[in-house]
């Protein structure tokens, strides 16, 4: 019953799409468990680049089942656009996609409220993607959300829409002084989406659990990253869902005991989009260099990503809250030209040294990072496929980051393409390990 959960260890955009696409070969099902089309997961196949937002990053492989789980919030217009975009590039979306009946819908008023709220916050804004993610999850938690299954029942949908749109329009008009949303228009629009999407909608929790019982392998795809998690991230500068590994259980309806591995995706440096604390941020030529070499511009909004040094405190926090069994280090090649590299090992604030990440936002916002410095390797690592072929100084950097963070690297990514990868340990090794024969002493029994 192996389930592998893939989670971003930082603030998103760690390169999850690339690693998930790579691991899809080894699994039967790829299932997204949270977030919405705020995500942008890039997969490069040969010369072609695909950016997935809602559809699992496993979709480029034939014969793999992709699932959008109950924990995801779906803007049907965005989903249909993504399906059409893939189809126009020869990627068929048919029986290979299933959508949970219980996934909540993003409605046009969610988007309008998201945008209006950011505008009102001014320089205190979260820097959301403006996709309506927060308001959609707020309605879900307030028990008035509209789900995929409601979309398939016109009378129920009409009724729920009428109740919700009244309140949403009141807030839009009276509180935000923003344009309201037309109920009849939304109804007609969403009914046309229902026609298009109904064949994909099913009880995905039952499907996944039955597959797990048949020993199918499942990859649970996380979007965003640990520090954008609504509970464990840099609140309130977070998204409104649970990207951390526990989110896979609630977002797909699987028991924690079905999870055999949790892989953290760790970028070899750090980036963040939107507002919020970022202790190792480099608002200088170094940050510019990382941005241009790493092509650090949002895959969803095109915004320039904030860039900085790797931070072992935030990785250690991610290890704690996710229980990583291994990590994939991505974008090592971006660091190829640097003379020296800094690794954050602590924060100093008001005379105190923090060696573990504090949850206190004011410390994170004002602390001075304490670094160690490593020499750069000053040669290309692009496309290297064997660990031993990496320059010695690059290996020393990886080993130092991993040791300080308390993680074990299973994969090192040396380029955006599938083949630009070093595989040190195959996932699911533990799950497929054959038990010791009866009577023979295992190391645990000694
Ligand atoms: P995700 O949201 O975690 O899936 O990450 P994004 O797709 O938003 O951003 C990662 C970017 O880095 C994409 O443009 C990828 O094509 C690219 N990428 C992934 N791995 C590597 C790598 O090892 N080296 C380089 N140079 N680019 C990479
Ligand atoms: P992937 O899956 C990076 C950020 C936004 C903002 C905050 C809240 O590609 O890693 P939201 O629209 O979710 O309410 O915005 O979260 N954010 C991301 N940052 N990668 C993402 O997804 C993100 N999804 C949301 O920039 O700071
Ligand atoms: Mg992304």
The closest of 336, 332, 344 to 422, measured between CA atoms, is: 332
* Residue nearest atom 5 in ligand 2 by C-alpha distance: 128
* Residue nearest atom 27 in ligand 2 by C-alpha distance: 274
Q: Estimate to the nearest angstrom the gap between the alpha carbon of 57 and the chain centroid.
A: 11
User: 32 alpha carbon to ligand 2 midpoint, in Å?
Assistant: 15
How do strand 3-8 and strand 29-32 relate by DSSP bridges?
unpaired
- For CA atoms 69, 245, 318, 239, the dihedral sign is positive
> What pLDDT shows up at residue 430?
55
- Backbone φ and ψ for 38, nearest 5 degrees, come out as -70, -25
Mean pLDDT of 310-320: 98
Tokens representing 134? 């927060």
DSSP 294-341: TT-B-TTT-PBPEEE-EEHHHHHHHHHHHT-SEEEEE-GGGGTT-SEE
Q: Which ligand sits closest to the CA of 305?
A: 2
The closest of 271, 246, 237 to 124, measured between CA atoms, is: 237
Mean pLDDT of 159-184: 97
DSSP class of residue 222?
Answer: P
Give residue ranges with CB within 6 A of ligand 2: 8, 12-13, 38-41, 126-129, 131, 133-134, 223-225, 228, 239-240, 273-274, 299
Which of the residues 21, 37, 41, 150 is marked catalytic?
41
- Backbone φ and ψ for 336, nearest 5 degrees, come out as -55, -35
Q: CA dist 99 to 164, 184, 281, 433, Å?
A: 23, 25, 38, 32
Kindly state if the Cβ of 334 falls inside 6 Å of ligand 1: yes
* Residue nearest atom 25 in ligand 2 by C-alpha distance: 38
Note the pLDDT tens digit of each residue in 268-278.
999 999 999 99
Q: Which ligand sits closest to the CA of 330?
A: 1
CB 326 within 8 A of CB 19: no
* Beta bridge partner(s), residue 314: none
Kindly state if the Cβ of 132 falls inside 6 Å of ligand 1: no
Kindly state if the Cβ of 35 falls inside 6 Å of ligand 1: no
Kindly state if the Cβ of 305 falls inside 6 Å of ligand 1: no
364 pLDDT more than 60: yes
Determine if the pTM surpasses 0.75.
yes
Pocket perturbation via mutation, ligand 2, pick of 112, 224, 295, 318 by most ligand atoms within 8 A of CB: 224
Kindly indicate the confidence band of residue 428, based on its pLDDT and cuts at 50, 70 and 90: confident
Note the pLDDT tens digit of each residue in 191-216.
999 999 999 999 999 999 999 999 99
Looking up tokens 């995905």 gives 204
439 pLDDT more than 70: no
User: 130 alpha carbon to ligand 2 midpoint, in Å?
Assistant: 10
User: 160 alpha carbon to ligand 2 midpoint, in Å?
Assistant: 28
User: 13 alpha carbon to ligand 3 midpoint, in Å?
Assistant: 4
Q: Give the burial string for 389-409 (b: 16+ CB within 10 Å, else e).
A: ebbebbeebbebbbebbebeb
DSSP 372-438: EEEE---S--TT--SGGGS-HHHHHHHHHHHHHHT--EEEEE-SSBTTSEEESS-TTHHHHPPPPPT
Q: Is 179 exposed, middle or buried (0-12, 13-18, 19+ CB in 10 A)?
A: exposed
Kindly state if the Cβ of 303 falls inside 6 Å of ligand 1: no
Kindly indicate the confidence band of residue 299, based on its pLDDT and cuts at 50, 70 and 90: confident
User: 436 alpha carbon to ligand 3 midpoint, in Å?
Assistant: 42
DSSP 275-295: SS--TTB--SHHHHHHHHHTT
User: 15 alpha carbon to ligand 2 midpoint, in Å?
Assistant: 14
Question: Cα separation of 196 and 255, whole Å?
Answer: 32
Q: Give the burial string for 157-174 (b: 16+ CB within 10 Å, else e).
A: bbebbeebbeebbebbee
Query: Between residues 441 and 131, which one has the greater pLDDT?
Result: 131
Note the pLDDT tens digit of each residue in 242-282.
999 999 999 999 999 999 999 999 999 999 999 999 999 99
- For CA atoms 37, 229, 294, 42, the dihedral sign is negative
* Residue nearest atom 17 in ligand 1 by C-alpha distance: 416
Pocket perturbation via mutation, ligand 1, pick of 6, 8, 18, 243 by most ligand atoms within 8 A of CB: 18
The closest of 128, 146, 129, 150 to 137, measured between CA atoms, is: 146
Q: Give the burial string for 19-58 (b: 16+ CB within 10 Å, else e).
A: bbbbbbeebbbbbbbbbbbbbbbbbbeeeeebebbbbbbb
Query: Between residues 336 and 1, which one has the greater pLDDT?
Result: 336
* Residue nearest atom 9 in ligand 1 by C-alpha distance: 13
14 pLDDT more than 80: yes
1 pLDDT more than 90: no
Kindly state if the Cβ of 299 falls inside 6 Å of ligand 1: yes
Q: Is 110 designated active site?
A: no
> What pLDDT shows up at residue 436?
42
> What pLDDT shows up at residue 438?
43
User: 15 alpha carbon to ligand 3 midpoint, in Å?
Assistant: 7
The per-residue pLDDT of the chain, averaged, comes to 95
Mean pLDDT of 33-50: 96
For the chain, percent of residues with pLDDT exceeding 70? 96
* Residue nearest atom 20 in ligand 1 by C-alpha distance: 416
CB 56 within 8 A of CB 68: yes
Mean pLDDT of 123-136: 97
Q: Which ligand sits closest to the CA of 18?
A: 1
Q: Is 41 designated active site?
A: yes
């Amino acid at each position: 019953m192996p389930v592998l959960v893939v989670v971003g260890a930082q603030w998103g955009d760690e390169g999850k799409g690339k690693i998930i696409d790579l691991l899809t070969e080894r699994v039967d099902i790829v299932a997204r468990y949270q977030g919405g089309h705020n995500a942008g997961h890039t997969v490069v196949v040969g010369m072609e680049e695909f950016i997935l937002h809602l559809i699992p990053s496993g979709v480029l492989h034939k014969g793999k089942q992709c699932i959008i789980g109950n924990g995801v919030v779906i803007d049907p217009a965005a989903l249909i656009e993504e399906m059409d975009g893939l189809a126009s590039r020869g990627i068929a979306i048919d029986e290979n996609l299933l959508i949970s009946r219980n996934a909540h819908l993003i409605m046009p008023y969610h988007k309008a409220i998201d945008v209006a709220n950011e505008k009102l916050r001014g320089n205190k804004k979260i820097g959301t993607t403006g996709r309506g993610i927060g308001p959609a999850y707020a309605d879900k938690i307030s028990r008035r959300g509209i789900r995929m299954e409601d979309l398939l029942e016109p009378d129920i949908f009409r009724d729920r829409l009428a109740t919700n749109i009244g309140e949403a329009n009141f807030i839009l008009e009276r509180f935000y002084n923003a344009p309201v949303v037309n109920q009849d228009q939304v109804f007609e629009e969403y009914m046309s989406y229902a026609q298009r999407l109904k064949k994909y909608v099913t009880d995905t929790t039952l499907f996944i659990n039955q597959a797990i019982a048949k020993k199918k392998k499942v990859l649970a795809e996380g979007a965003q990253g640990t520090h954008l998690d609504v509970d464990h991230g840099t609140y309130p500068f977070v998204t409104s869902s649970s990207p951390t590994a526990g989110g896979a259980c609630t977002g797909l309806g699987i028991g924690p005991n079905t999870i055999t591995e949790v892989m953290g995706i760790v970028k070899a440096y750090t980036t963040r989009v939107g507002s919020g604390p970022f202790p190792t941020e480099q608002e200088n030529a170094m940050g510019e260099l990382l941005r241009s070499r790493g092509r650090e511009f949002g895959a969803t909004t095109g915004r320039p990503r904030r860039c900085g040094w790797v931070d072992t405190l935030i990785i250690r926090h991610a290890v704690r809250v996710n229980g990583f069994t291994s990590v994939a280090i991505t974008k090592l090649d971006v660091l190829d030209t640097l003379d020296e590299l800094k690794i954050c090992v602590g924060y100093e604030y008001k005379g105190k040294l923090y060696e573990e990440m504090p949850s206190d936002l004011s410390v994170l916002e004002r602390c001075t990072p304490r670094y160690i410095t490593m020499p750069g390797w000053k040669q290309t690592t692009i496309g290297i496929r064997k660990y031993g072929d990496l320059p010695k100084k690059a290996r020393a950097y990886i080993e130092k980051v991993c040791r300080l963070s308390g993680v074990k690297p299973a994969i090192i990514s040396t380029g955006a393409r599938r083949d630009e990868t070093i595989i040190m340990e195959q996932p699911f090794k533990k799950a497929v390990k054959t038990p010791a024969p009866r009577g023979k002493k295992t190391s645990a029994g000694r």
